[in-house]
């Protein structure tokens, strides 16, 4: 039987350079390196048997890659597409698994708050959708559509009928505008609120300072030394804070804060001082506005919308206090808590710059437009109550979830968690 002659290989300069990089590159896969060496040997006119001895490959392997390069060039050295193992699960089974992950467990009769991959795998097997299936397979299916049913985010719907008007007043003040007129040099914007229930927790063992490859260590057990409230007034455009501590919150403590600020320059001689506050019980409603203007005629109270204290910039300052002063909480008594807060005020006022507030009225309009496109369940129920006959005839509407309202986009972080929040803010 005649021996088949080896396929001749002729290389162009560009092909030779690329093959050398592949054949002798330190990061090249071994299989690609061997294929490139086979072609380089063949370009020198060597026989397949000699190439096999030089590379340690089987003669048939050398013949295969030499022939592929002769027919297809560099593209012939890559692996061809393979059929692979037949899929163990059908597309319908994958779709049913994803559909189950997109339903609340309570809707399916499963006593869980949210799904996990092991729970989904067990439920798919129990329902007969699939046979025994691993949690990693379910996780891989969900990752295809970025489904994460084990996560959740909270949100709150706008209930204030005057939300836009109230929010626009606050945002205009941040842009130094009041009732369509730019603020003068002798007009100031103050953002005020209370941070409630700052506790003095005396750790049963001293806190250990951080060391090499060791974080600060704080003992978990502690003795309670009481709690106080921290009231702060933040000048939005001057980045100055004036605060005080009180045993508790209320109308009188808040008025003490107002008196402390209004008795200082430049607020004493100011033409107008606009106080932005939320709807906490200490400064809620028109009575609070009248009380403040009666005591200080140049003071004007501006309320944020209900459930929108995130519009109040002093919340950002409180988040800074929570992260840099309060946590981790290790104070022997309330006196040290107050001293630390006052010392931090001086430190903050010495270097602080105004927050880079970027949530504008245009962003507010976009937010409200998105919310208007998502009817609430209460609206559907009220419509059905007004017209029972039409509700009975109409097909059921799918339940929609209102997107979580975004907080302000600014240079600092969001306000941190605050304990003892009052309702109606």
pLDDT for position 87: 85
Which tokens hold the place of 147?
Answer: 């489904």
What backbone phi and psi angles, to 5 degrees, belong to 315? -65, -35
Same domain, 343 and 213: yes
Same domain, 59 and 118: no
| Residue 280 included in any domain | yes
| Residue 178 included in any domain | yes
Same domain, 191 and 65: no
The string of pLDDT tens digits covering residues 301-330 is 999 999 898 999 999 999 999 999 999 988
Same domain, 131 and 170: no
| Residue 7 included in any domain | no
Same domain, 185 and 300: yes
User: Which pTM was predicted?
Assistant: 0.67
Contact by Cβ (8 Å): 162, 407: no
How far apart, in whole angstroms, are the C-alpha atoms of residue 228 and residue 200? 8
Same domain, 287 and 185: yes
What contacts 271, CB < 8 A, 6 or more positions away? 184, 186, 187, 298
| Residue 305 included in any domain | yes
Same domain, 38 and 103: no
pLDDT for position 421: 39
pLDDT for position 67: 92
Same domain, 120 and 196: no
Same domain, 102 and 70: no
How far apart, in whole angstroms, are the C-alpha atoms of residue 349 and residue 356? 16
Domain range holding 389?
A: 361-393
| Residue 310 included in any domain | yes
Asked if omega into 328 is within 30° of 0 (cis), the reply is: yes
| Residue 29 included in any domain | yes
Calculate the CA dihedral of residues 287, 289, 294, 300 and round it to 10 degrees.
-170
Q: Identify the segments of the chain with pLDDT beneath 70.
A: 1-4, 375-425
Same domain, 117 and 23: no
Same domain, 136 and 261: no
């Amino acid at each position: 039987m005649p021996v088949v002659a080896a396929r001749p290989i002729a290389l162009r300069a560009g092909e030779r350079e690329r093959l050398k990089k592949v054949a002798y590159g330190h990061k090249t896969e071994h299989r690609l390196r061997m294929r490139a060496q086979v072609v380089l040997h063949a370009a020198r006119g060597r026989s397949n048997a000699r190439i096999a001895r030089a590379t340690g490959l089987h003669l048939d392997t050398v013949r295969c890659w030499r022939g592929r390069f002769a027919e297809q060039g560099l593209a012939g050295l890559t692996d061809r597409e393979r059929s692979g193992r037949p899929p163990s699960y059908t597309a319908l089974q994958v779709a049913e698994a994803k559909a189950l992950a997109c339903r609340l467990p309570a809707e399916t009769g499963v006593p869980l708050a949210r799904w996990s991959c092991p729970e989904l795998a067990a439920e798919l097997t129990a329902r007969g959708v699939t046979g025994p299936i691993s949690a990693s397979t379910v996780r891989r299916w969900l990752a295809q559509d970025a489904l994460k049913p084990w996560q959740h985010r909270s949100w709150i719907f706008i209930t204030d009928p005057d939300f836009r008007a109230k929010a626009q007043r606050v945002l205009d003040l941040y842009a130094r505008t009041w009732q369509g007129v730019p603020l003068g040099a002798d007009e100031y914007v103050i953002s005020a609120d209370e941070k409630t229930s700052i506790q003095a927790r005396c750790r049963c063992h001293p806190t250990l300072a951080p060391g090499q490859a060791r974080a600060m260590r704080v003992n978990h057990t502690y003795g309670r030394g009481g709690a106080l409230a921290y009231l702060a007034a933040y000048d939005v455009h001057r980045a100055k804070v004036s605060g005080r501590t009180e045993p508790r919150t209320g109308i009188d403590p808040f008025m003490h804060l107002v008196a402390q600020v209004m008795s200082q320059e430049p607020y004493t001689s100011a033409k107008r001082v606009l106080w932005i506050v939320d709807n906490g019980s200490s400064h809620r409603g028109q009575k609070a506005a009248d009380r403040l203007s009666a005591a200080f005629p140049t003071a004007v109270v501006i309320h944020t919308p209900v459930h929108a204290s995130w519009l109040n910039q002093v919340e950002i300052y409180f988040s800074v206090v929570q992260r840099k002063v309060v946590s981790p909480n290790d104070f022997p008594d309330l006196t040290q808590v107050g001293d630390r807060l006052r010392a931090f005020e001086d430190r903050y006022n010495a270097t602080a710059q105004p927050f880079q507030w970027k949530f504008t009225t245009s962003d507010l309009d976009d937010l409200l437009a998105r919310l208007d496109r998502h009817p609430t369940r209460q609206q559907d129920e009220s419509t059905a109550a007004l017209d029972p006959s039409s509700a009975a005839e109409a097909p059921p509407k799918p339940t929609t979830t209102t997107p979580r309202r975004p907080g302000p986009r600014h240079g600092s972080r969001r306000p941190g968690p605050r304990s003892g929040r009052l309702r109606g803010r």
